[in-house]
Protein backbone atom coordinates (compact mmCIF):
# COMPACT_ATOMS: atom_id res chain seq x y z
CA UNK A 1 0.00 0.00 0.00
CA UNK A 2 1.34 3.44 -0.93
CA UNK A 3 1.94 5.88 1.91
CA UNK A 4 -0.57 8.66 2.50
CA UNK A 5 2.21 10.82 3.98
CA UNK A 6 5.84 10.18 3.05
CA UNK A 7 8.59 12.27 4.65
CA UNK A 8 12.20 11.89 3.53
CA UNK A 9 15.34 13.34 5.14
CA UNK A 10 13.56 16.33 6.72
CA UNK A 11 15.92 18.94 8.19
CA UNK A 12 14.80 21.98 10.20
CA UNK A 13 16.92 24.73 11.78
CA UNK A 14 16.27 27.77 13.97
CA UNK A 15 18.43 30.90 14.03
CA UNK A 16 18.91 32.29 17.54
CA UNK A 17 21.20 34.83 19.19
CA UNK A 18 23.32 31.93 20.40
CA UNK A 19 23.67 30.32 16.98
CA UNK A 20 21.78 27.90 14.76
CA UNK A 21 19.83 25.09 16.41
CA UNK A 22 19.68 21.94 14.27
CA UNK A 23 16.31 20.83 15.63
CA UNK A 24 15.47 18.10 13.11
CA UNK A 25 18.31 16.22 11.44
CA UNK A 26 17.30 13.90 8.64
CA UNK A 27 13.96 12.47 9.80
CA UNK A 28 12.14 10.07 7.49
CA UNK A 29 8.87 8.17 7.93
CA UNK A 30 5.82 6.95 6.06
CA UNK A 31 2.20 6.83 7.19
CA UNK A 32 -0.53 4.68 5.64
CA UNK A 33 -4.22 5.45 5.72
CA UNK A 34 -6.06 4.10 8.76
CA UNK A 35 -2.83 3.54 10.72
CA UNK A 36 -1.46 5.21 13.85
CA UNK A 37 2.18 6.30 13.95
CA UNK A 38 3.55 7.29 17.36
CA UNK A 39 6.57 9.60 17.60
CA UNK A 40 8.16 9.29 21.03
CA UNK A 41 11.09 10.80 22.89
CA UNK A 42 11.90 13.23 25.66
CA UNK A 43 11.19 16.96 25.49
CA UNK A 44 13.36 18.77 22.96
CA UNK A 45 14.05 15.75 20.74
CA UNK A 46 12.25 17.30 17.73
CA UNK A 47 8.90 15.47 17.79
CA UNK A 48 6.62 18.50 17.57
CA UNK A 49 8.92 20.49 15.28
CA UNK A 50 8.90 17.62 12.79
CA UNK A 51 5.13 17.70 12.24
CA UNK A 52 4.74 21.45 12.71
CA UNK A 53 7.28 22.10 9.96
CA UNK A 54 5.38 19.84 7.56
CA UNK A 55 2.18 21.80 8.30
CA UNK A 56 3.87 25.18 7.93
CA UNK A 57 3.41 26.05 11.60
CA UNK A 58 6.98 26.90 12.56
CA UNK A 59 7.71 30.65 12.61
CA UNK A 60 9.83 31.64 9.59
CA UNK A 61 12.11 33.29 10.50
CA UNK A 62 13.71 32.17 12.78
CA UNK A 63 12.84 28.63 11.64
CA UNK A 64 13.48 27.20 8.21
CA UNK A 65 13.32 23.87 6.42
CA UNK A 66 16.80 23.27 5.00
CA UNK A 67 16.30 19.89 3.35
CA UNK A 68 14.06 16.96 2.64
CA UNK A 69 10.76 16.22 0.96
CA UNK A 70 7.24 15.60 2.21
CA UNK A 71 4.67 13.97 -0.07
CA UNK A 72 1.02 14.10 0.96
CA UNK A 73 -1.43 12.10 -1.12
CA UNK A 74 1.02 12.16 -4.03
CA UNK A 75 1.85 15.88 -3.88
CA UNK A 76 5.23 17.23 -2.76
CA UNK A 77 3.94 19.83 -0.32
CA UNK A 78 7.37 21.27 0.52
CA UNK A 79 8.54 21.76 -3.06
CA UNK A 80 5.17 23.14 -4.17
CA UNK A 81 5.06 25.52 -1.18
CA UNK A 82 1.61 24.29 -0.15
CA UNK A 83 2.36 23.92 3.55
CA UNK A 84 1.39 27.50 4.37
CA UNK A 85 -2.05 27.45 2.78
CA UNK A 86 -5.47 26.23 3.74
CA UNK A 87 -5.25 23.54 1.04
CA UNK A 88 -3.42 21.39 3.61
CA UNK A 89 -4.22 22.59 7.12
CA UNK A 90 -7.76 21.79 8.19
CA UNK A 91 -8.80 20.25 4.88
CA UNK A 92 -6.36 17.33 4.54
CA UNK A 93 -4.61 17.43 7.91
CA UNK A 94 -6.19 18.25 11.27
CA UNK A 95 -4.22 18.91 14.43
CA UNK A 96 -4.91 18.65 18.16
CA UNK A 97 -2.53 20.87 20.11
CA UNK A 98 -1.07 20.22 23.57
CA UNK A 99 -2.94 22.90 25.49
CA UNK A 100 -6.52 23.49 24.32
CA UNK A 101 -7.01 26.46 26.67
CA UNK A 102 -4.32 28.45 24.84
CA UNK A 103 -5.31 27.10 21.41
CA UNK A 104 -8.94 28.24 21.60
CA UNK A 105 -10.09 31.85 21.32
CA UNK A 106 -11.53 32.91 24.70
CA UNK A 107 -13.76 35.56 23.06
CA UNK A 108 -15.62 33.15 20.75
CA UNK A 109 -18.06 30.39 21.59
CA UNK A 110 -16.98 26.81 21.05
CA UNK A 111 -19.57 26.35 18.31
CA UNK A 112 -18.43 29.45 16.41
CA UNK A 113 -14.82 28.31 16.51
CA UNK A 114 -15.68 24.91 15.07
CA UNK A 115 -18.04 26.50 12.54
CA UNK A 116 -15.33 28.89 11.36
CA UNK A 117 -13.30 25.94 10.07
CA UNK A 118 -16.20 24.82 7.90
CA UNK A 119 -16.87 28.33 6.62
CA UNK A 120 -13.24 28.77 5.56
CA UNK A 121 -12.58 25.35 4.04
CA UNK A 122 -16.01 24.12 2.92
CA UNK A 123 -17.74 27.44 2.16
CA UNK A 124 -20.65 26.62 4.49
CA UNK A 125 -23.05 29.38 5.44
CA UNK A 126 -22.88 30.45 9.07
CA UNK A 127 -26.12 28.59 9.87
CA UNK A 128 -25.00 25.40 8.11
CA UNK A 129 -21.61 25.53 9.80
CA UNK A 130 -23.05 26.02 13.28
CA UNK A 131 -25.50 23.14 12.80
CA UNK A 132 -22.62 20.90 11.73
CA UNK A 133 -20.58 22.13 14.72
CA UNK A 134 -23.31 20.86 17.05
CA UNK A 135 -23.20 17.47 15.30
CA UNK A 136 -19.42 17.33 15.75
CA UNK A 137 -19.71 18.20 19.44
CA UNK A 138 -22.22 15.34 19.81
CA UNK A 139 -19.82 13.04 17.97
CA UNK A 140 -17.14 13.73 20.57
CA UNK A 141 -19.60 12.74 23.32
CA UNK A 142 -20.04 16.12 24.98
CA UNK A 143 -23.54 16.12 26.53
CA UNK A 144 -26.09 18.81 25.68
CA UNK A 145 -24.25 19.68 22.49
CA UNK A 146 -26.60 22.47 21.37
CA UNK A 147 -26.21 24.22 24.72
CA UNK A 148 -22.46 23.66 24.89
CA UNK A 149 -21.93 25.02 21.39
CA UNK A 150 -23.06 28.44 22.66
CA UNK A 151 -20.69 28.46 25.63
CA UNK A 152 -17.16 29.86 25.90
CA UNK A 153 -13.93 27.95 26.61
CA UNK A 154 -13.80 29.06 30.26
CA UNK A 155 -17.09 27.23 30.84
CA UNK A 156 -15.59 23.88 29.79
CA UNK A 157 -13.53 21.38 31.79
CA UNK A 158 -10.11 20.27 30.52
CA UNK A 159 -11.49 17.06 29.05
CA UNK A 160 -14.34 18.90 27.31
CA UNK A 161 -11.89 21.42 25.85
CA UNK A 162 -9.79 18.60 24.43
CA UNK A 163 -12.91 17.01 22.95
CA UNK A 164 -13.77 20.39 21.41
CA UNK A 165 -10.32 20.50 19.81
CA UNK A 166 -10.92 17.03 18.40
CA UNK A 167 -14.28 18.16 17.00
CA UNK A 168 -12.62 21.17 15.37
CA UNK A 169 -9.81 19.08 13.88
CA UNK A 170 -12.33 16.60 12.41
CA UNK A 171 -14.69 19.22 10.98
CA UNK A 172 -13.44 18.86 7.40
CA UNK A 173 -12.96 15.09 7.65
CA UNK A 174 -9.15 15.20 7.21
CA UNK A 175 -7.20 12.20 5.97
CA UNK A 176 -4.64 12.66 8.76
CA UNK A 177 -5.09 13.72 12.38
CA UNK A 178 -1.97 14.94 14.20
CA UNK A 179 -2.35 14.68 17.97
CA UNK A 180 0.41 16.54 19.82
CA UNK A 181 0.37 15.28 23.43
CA UNK A 182 -3.45 15.04 23.37
CA UNK A 183 -3.72 13.86 27.00
CA UNK A 184 -1.33 16.33 28.62
CA UNK A 185 -2.61 17.74 31.97
CA UNK A 186 -5.67 15.45 31.98
CA UNK A 187 -6.35 13.01 34.78
CA UNK A 188 -6.03 9.29 34.07
CA UNK A 189 -9.76 8.64 33.64
CA UNK A 190 -10.19 11.47 31.12
CA UNK A 191 -6.99 10.39 29.32
CA UNK A 192 -8.52 6.98 28.76
CA UNK A 193 -11.75 8.50 27.46
CA UNK A 194 -9.89 10.76 25.01
CA UNK A 195 -7.82 7.85 23.68
CA UNK A 196 -10.90 5.65 23.32
CA UNK A 197 -12.66 8.47 21.48
CA UNK A 198 -9.76 8.89 19.04
CA UNK A 199 -9.70 5.16 18.40
CA UNK A 200 -13.45 5.03 17.76
CA UNK A 201 -13.31 8.02 15.41
CA UNK A 202 -10.42 6.45 13.52
CA UNK A 203 -12.39 3.26 12.98
CA UNK A 204 -15.45 5.23 11.86
CA UNK A 205 -13.65 7.59 9.47
CA UNK A 206 -10.58 5.61 8.37
CA UNK A 207 -8.26 8.54 9.08
CA UNK A 208 -4.57 8.07 9.86
CA UNK A 209 -3.18 9.41 13.14
CA UNK A 210 0.24 10.80 14.02
CA UNK A 211 0.51 10.64 17.81
CA UNK A 212 3.23 12.73 19.45
CA UNK A 213 3.93 11.72 23.03
CA UNK A 214 6.48 10.81 25.66
CA UNK A 215 4.05 8.45 27.38
CA UNK A 216 4.90 4.86 26.41
CA UNK A 217 1.65 3.65 27.92
CA UNK A 218 -0.28 5.72 25.39
CA UNK A 219 1.94 4.36 22.61
CA UNK A 220 1.29 0.74 23.62
CA UNK A 221 -2.45 1.40 23.62
CA UNK A 222 -2.81 3.34 20.37
CA UNK A 223 0.07 2.83 17.94
CA UNK A 224 0.63 0.53 15.00
CA UNK A 225 4.14 1.84 14.28
CA UNK A 226 6.63 3.78 16.40
CA UNK A 227 9.44 6.25 15.76
CA UNK A 228 11.82 6.80 18.66
CA UNK A 229 13.55 10.19 18.34
CA UNK A 230 16.61 11.52 20.10
CA UNK A 231 18.54 14.76 19.44
CA UNK A 232 16.58 15.51 16.28
CA UNK A 233 17.07 12.07 14.72
CA UNK A 234 15.15 8.80 14.50
CA UNK A 235 17.17 6.22 16.46
CA UNK A 236 14.71 3.33 16.20
CA UNK A 237 11.62 2.56 14.16
CA UNK A 238 9.33 -0.43 13.87
CA UNK A 239 6.00 -1.94 14.71
CA UNK A 240 4.77 -1.36 18.24
CA UNK A 241 5.56 -4.95 19.27
CA UNK A 242 9.09 -4.69 17.82
CA UNK A 243 9.85 -1.50 19.72
CA UNK A 244 8.37 -2.69 23.02
CA UNK A 245 9.36 -6.36 23.09
CA UNK A 246 12.42 -6.42 20.81
CA UNK A 247 13.89 -3.00 21.62
CA UNK A 248 17.07 -2.44 19.65
CA UNK A 249 18.53 0.90 20.78
CA UNK A 250 19.96 1.79 24.23
CA UNK A 251 17.79 4.93 24.35
CA UNK A 252 14.61 2.90 23.86
CA UNK A 253 15.77 0.60 26.67
CA UNK A 254 16.36 3.67 28.85
CA UNK A 255 12.85 4.97 28.22
CA UNK A 256 11.36 1.60 29.11
CA UNK A 257 13.45 1.33 32.29
CA UNK A 258 12.10 4.70 33.45
CA UNK A 259 8.48 3.66 32.90
CA UNK A 260 6.41 2.20 35.77
CA UNK A 261 5.09 -1.33 35.29
CA UNK A 262 2.20 -3.27 36.80
CA UNK A 263 3.97 -6.61 36.50
CA UNK A 264 4.16 -8.30 39.89
CA UNK A 265 7.39 -10.11 39.01
CA UNK A 266 9.21 -7.00 37.80
CA UNK A 267 11.67 -4.89 39.75
CA UNK A 268 9.83 -1.78 40.94
CA UNK A 269 12.77 0.63 40.98
CA UNK A 270 12.64 3.15 38.14
CA UNK A 271 15.99 3.81 36.48
CA UNK A 272 16.47 7.34 35.12
CA UNK A 273 18.68 8.09 32.12
CA UNK A 274 21.79 9.80 33.45
CA UNK A 275 23.17 12.94 31.85
CA UNK A 276 21.61 15.50 29.50
CA UNK A 277 20.75 15.59 25.79
CA UNK A 278 23.48 16.95 23.48
CA UNK A 279 23.77 20.59 22.48
CA UNK A 280 22.02 20.95 19.11
CA UNK A 281 23.90 24.18 18.40
CA UNK A 282 26.82 21.83 17.71
CA UNK A 283 25.53 18.24 17.50
CA UNK A 284 28.06 15.49 18.20
CA UNK A 285 29.73 14.07 15.07
CA UNK A 286 28.89 10.49 16.04
CA UNK A 287 25.96 8.96 17.86
CA UNK A 288 23.91 11.62 19.66
CA UNK A 289 23.35 9.25 22.58
CA UNK A 290 27.05 8.48 23.07
CA UNK A 291 27.59 10.54 26.25
CA UNK A 292 24.67 8.87 28.07
CA UNK A 293 24.87 5.34 26.68
CA UNK A 294 25.94 2.52 29.05
CA UNK A 295 27.07 0.46 26.05
CA UNK A 296 29.03 3.20 24.23
CA UNK A 297 32.15 2.22 22.31
CA UNK A 298 34.98 4.30 20.91
CA UNK A 299 33.52 4.05 17.41
CA UNK A 300 30.29 5.68 18.58
CA UNK A 301 31.92 8.99 19.46
CA UNK A 302 33.01 10.12 16.02
CA UNK A 303 31.05 7.95 13.59
CA UNK A 304 27.33 8.47 13.01
CA UNK A 305 25.69 5.03 13.14
CA UNK A 306 23.91 3.72 10.09
CA UNK A 307 20.41 2.28 10.25
CA UNK A 308 20.68 -1.47 10.74
CA UNK A 309 17.72 -3.54 9.48
CA UNK A 310 16.62 -6.00 12.15
CA UNK A 311 13.46 -7.38 10.58
CA UNK A 312 10.55 -6.32 8.42
CA UNK A 313 10.14 -2.60 9.05
CA UNK A 314 12.32 -2.69 12.18
CA UNK A 315 15.63 -0.82 12.27
CA UNK A 316 17.90 0.92 14.75
CA UNK A 317 20.83 3.33 14.55
CA UNK A 318 23.27 1.64 16.90
CA UNK A 319 26.80 0.33 16.27
CA UNK A 320 26.09 -2.62 18.56
CA UNK A 321 24.36 -4.23 15.59
CA UNK A 322 27.50 -4.09 13.43
CA UNK A 323 29.05 -7.49 12.88
CA UNK A 324 32.48 -6.24 14.06
CA UNK A 325 31.39 -4.34 17.19
CA UNK A 326 32.85 -6.95 19.58
CA UNK A 327 29.71 -7.13 21.74
CA UNK A 328 26.79 -9.52 21.56
CA UNK A 329 24.02 -7.06 20.72
CA UNK A 330 21.40 -9.76 20.86
CA UNK A 331 22.34 -10.66 24.44
CA UNK A 332 22.34 -6.99 25.51
CA UNK A 333 18.87 -6.30 24.15
CA UNK A 334 17.36 -9.62 25.22
CA UNK A 335 18.52 -9.00 28.79
CA UNK A 336 16.92 -5.57 28.95
CA UNK A 337 13.74 -6.52 27.10
CA UNK A 338 12.66 -9.17 29.56
- What pLDDT does 335 receive? 56
Judgement on whether residues 219 and 326 belong to the same structural domain of the protein: no
Domain CATH for 215: 3.40.50.300
| Cα 291 from Cα 284, distance rounded (Å) | 9
Judgement on whether residues 209 and 284 belong to the same structural domain of the protein: no
Q: Do the Cβ atoms of 47 and 40 come closer than 8 Å?
A: yes
Judgement on whether residues 81 and 218 belong to the same structural domain of the protein: yes
| Cα 143 from Cα 127, distance rounded (Å) | 21
- What pLDDT does 11 receive? 95
Give the pLDDT band (50/70/90) at residue 189. confident
Least confident stretch, 24-33, 92-101, 226-235, 260-269: 260-269
Is 199 among the domain residues? yes
Mean pLDDT throughout 51-57?
Answer: 86
Judgement on whether residues 70 and 149 belong to the same structural domain of the protein: yes
Mean pLDDT throughout 17-38?
Answer: 93
Judgement on whether residues 265 and 175 belong to the same structural domain of the protein: no
Residue 273 is part of which domain span?
246-336
Total domains in the chain come to 2
Is 232 among the domain residues? no
Is 236 among the domain residues? no
**pLDDT over 90 at 30, yes or no:** yes
The residue among 186 and 144 whose pLDDT is bigger is 144
**pLDDT over 60 at 169, yes or no:** yes
Is 234 among the domain residues? no
Is 125 among the domain residues? yes
Judgement on whether residues 137 and 24 belong to the same structural domain of the protein: yes
Judgement on whether residues 44 and 92 belong to the same structural domain of the protein: yes
Judgement on whether residues 29 and 165 belong to the same structural domain of the protein: yes
The residue among 91 and 302 whose pLDDT is bigger is 302
| Cα 57 from Cα 52, distance rounded (Å) | 5
| Cα 245 from Cα 247, distance rounded (Å) | 6
- What pLDDT does 216 receive? 86
Amino acid sequence: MSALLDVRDLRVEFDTYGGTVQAVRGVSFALEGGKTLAIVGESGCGKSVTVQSIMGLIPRPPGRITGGAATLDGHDILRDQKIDGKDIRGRLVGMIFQDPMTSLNPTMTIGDQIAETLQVHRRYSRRQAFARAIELIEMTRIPEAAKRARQYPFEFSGGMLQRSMIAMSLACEPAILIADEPTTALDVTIQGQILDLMGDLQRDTGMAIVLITHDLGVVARMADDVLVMYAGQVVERGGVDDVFYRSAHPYTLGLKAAMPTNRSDAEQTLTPIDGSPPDLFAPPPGCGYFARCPHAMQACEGNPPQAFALGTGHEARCWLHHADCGQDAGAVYREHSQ
